[in-house]
Structure formats: structure tokens, C-alpha cells
Amino acid sequence: MKKIVTGNANQLGKDHGQWIMGYGFKDMPSMENETLRIKWSHHKKGERREEVHSISGYQTITILVHGHFIQQMNGRSYEQSIEGDFVYCPANTPHTWEAIEDSMMITIQFQESK
């Protein structure tokens, strides 16, 4: 029988870079799936990732819970300003981001199909 997992995203995320479930942390709840992880993140207005980075082998979907957020990929800007707006980022895609307003995001990262 698979186990049921509960917790608080704000509490758990404090110790794991805002990641709340999935691979990469030995003391984090597991979903019995080592190819997926979930992030619950708060970003203050003006917070940004200036250094371009990409994630090898993992795709990402970022969903706006509230706020205003912009992601830059491949020379284009993708604005998230309405609750539920999402951006899909393929594996190995260089990107940066900026919080235009205080924002809350849910990020789902999963292994690229082979």
C-alpha cells in the first residue's frame, strides 16, 4: 500500500530551497517517484535570477499562484500576471526570471522523456 504524505509547504520549503517534495533531499517526503519534484516559492518584488542557468535533463512548469512574474528564455520574455498563468521550460533551456510584484509560484520539475 502506498503511503499518504502530508505537510506544510511553507515549513518544509524553509530547509530545502523552497522544494517541498521529490528527489534531491534525503529528509524530504517522497512521492515514490525519483523523477519529479515540487517547489512552493515566494519571491519578493524586485527579486531576480540574473545569472542565466539551465537544468540538464529536467523540464519545468512554473505556475503563478499570485503576483506578477517574468521569465526570460531564448531572447523572449514570458509574463505571468494572472493567477494560474504558467510557463513550460524545456530541459536545457537557458533562462532567468524577475518578480515584478511579490509573487507566489508552484514549480513542477520532471525528468525529460527519453
pLDDT digits (tens, 9 = 90+) for 74-103: 899 999 999 999 999 999 999 999 999 999
Whether 1 maps to a domain, the answer reads no
Whether 89 maps to a domain, the answer reads yes
Whether 3 maps to a domain, the answer reads no
Where residue 104 sits, what CATH number does that domain have?
2.60.120.10
Q: For position 95, what pLDDT does the model report?
A: 94
The percent of residues in the chain predicted with pLDDT above 90, rounded, is 53
pLDDT digits (tens, 9 = 90+) for 6-23: 778 888 788 778 887 777
Q: For position 14, what pLDDT does the model report?
A: 81
The contacts of residue 75 (CB under 8 Å, 6+ apart) are: none
Nearest to 13 by CA among 106, 114, 85: 106
The arithmetic mean of pLDDT across residues 23-33, rounded, is 67
Q: Which domain holds residue 42?
A: 9-111
Does residue 1 register a pLDDT over 60? no
- Which of 63 and 22 is assigned the larger pLDDT? 63
Number of domains comprising the chain: 1
Please report the sign of the dihedral spanned by the C-alpha atoms of residue 110, residue 31, residue 99, residue 66. positive
- Which of 52 and 27 is assigned the larger pLDDT? 52
Does residue 106 register a pLDDT over 80? yes
Whether 26 maps to a domain, the answer reads yes
- Which of 106 and 29 is assigned the larger pLDDT? 106
Q: How far is CA 64 from CA 46, 68, 102, 103, 109, in A?
A: 16, 8, 11, 7, 15
Q: How many residues does the chain have?
A: 114
Q: For position 2, what pLDDT does the model report?
A: 63
